[in-house]
A and B are shown apart, each in its own frame.
Chain A
Amino acid sequence: AAGVIQSPRHLIKEKRETATLKCYPIPRHDTVYWYQQGPGQDPQFLISFYEKMQSDKGSIPDRFSAQQFSDYHSELNMSSLELGDSALYFCASSLGGKAFFGQGTRLTVV
């Protein structure tokens, strides 16, 4: 069965650079969530989209933005990267019930 696809799996960026993370939800899922998990920390909810519209917003810095496109894939754009942005970024999708997670993108800011 198709799963949630995230790309890239690993990304290394320098401070003050920009990064774009992509998430391809399970076909026909209408909701996408983004989570950030720093080293040794709980997953933190960033933002979610329902039917291509922003649904809920969590602890997402102003330097980050996200959107969901007409094909339901979502992108998380991160600008002016800081060392503290180094984390595992998970995307999940759901159709009103269980959320299924992607493998995550590990971002390292150096």
Chain B
Amino acid sequence: ILNVEQSPQSLHVQEGDSTNFTCSFPSSNFYALHWYRWETAKSPEALFVMTLNGDEKKKGRISATLNTKEGYSYLYIKGSQPEDSATYLCAPSGSARQLTFGSGTQLTVLP
């Protein structure tokens, strides 16, 4: 099981602001990096799966980058909206069959 760190733990931003947060993981034995969005009382929703160093993925206003050599991934949200409020979890996997979740970044977007 990999050690995963996400920062910051929580974040409050104003509607319209852009924001980003970090997922750090061991760079050895890396297979893939998953980002999930988890709203209260709902199950996690998969946002991205990235495997290659330098990967960039985008879904609407949300994008993510991956650096496997130094062991980090950034998630960016452009023009945050109240509906973006959720906990964002990253989960690197050291093999295809196990995901280790970070503690998440709790984002609150204030109207």
Residue numbers of A with Cβ under 8 A of B are: 4, 31, 33, 35, 42-43, 45, 48, 50, 55-56, 58, 90, 92, 96-104
The answer to whether A98 and B96 touch across the interface, beta carbons within 8 angstroms, is no
Partner-binding segment picked from B16-24, B70-78, B99-107: B99-107
Residue ID in chain B nearest A100 by CB atoms: B46
The answer to whether A45 and B34 touch across the interface, beta carbons within 8 angstroms, is no
Residue numbers of B with Cβ under 8 A of A are: 1, 32, 34, 42-46, 49, 89, 95-104
Residues of B within 8 A of A31 (CB): 96-97
The answer to whether A45 and B102 touch across the interface, beta carbons within 8 angstroms, is no
The answer to whether B43 and A42 touch across the interface, beta carbons within 8 angstroms, is no
The answer to whether B97 and A55 touch across the interface, beta carbons within 8 angstroms, is yes
Residues of A within 8 A of B98 (CB): 33, 45, 48, 55-56, 58
The answer to whether A99 and B102 touch across the interface, beta carbons within 8 angstroms, is no
- Chain B: minimal CB distance from A3 (Å): 9
